[in-house]
Amino acid sequence: MVTIVDYKNHEREDGEKFNILIVQGGVEAVKSKETGKTYLTARTARVSSTFNEVTCKSLVGNQLPGEVKKVETEPYEYTVKDTGEVITLTHRFEYMDVQEQIVQDNYIEEEAVV
């Protein structure tokens, strides 16, 4: 399950405005690469919507079936807000509903089958 924790207003290049919902998965323990210590975190993802701002505001706190998954991407630069440091990432987090999870978990690359 994921929880809708917030929403944001966005504007496309063509000037059209829309809202996104920010969803958050459950708490998970992660080991720091730098210190080796365990810390708790939760993955978040942004999901586009057709809802107006009033509806988005009313949806905060609701839960949806699915989870936030790590998805590999082409490398891109990201600026860390707290430090201003620019880093290169090769992944993003996406919300996947139950059906998408089943397909992804059972998908086999054609090359692997041969």
Domain boundaries, the chain: 2-113
Q: What are the Cα distances from residue 62, in Å, to 8, 9, 40, 94, 103?
A: 16, 19, 22, 18, 25
Phi-psi region of 88 (alpha: psi -120 to 50; beta: other; left: phi over 0): beta
Q: Do residues 10 and 18 make contact, with C-beta atoms less than 8 angstroms apart? A: yes
Q: What is the pLDDT along the chain (114 residues), one digit of tens a residue?
A: 999 999 999 988 898 999 999 999 999 999 988 888 999 999 999 999 999 999 999 999 999 999 999 989 999 998 988 888 999 999 999 999 877 665 666 666 666 555
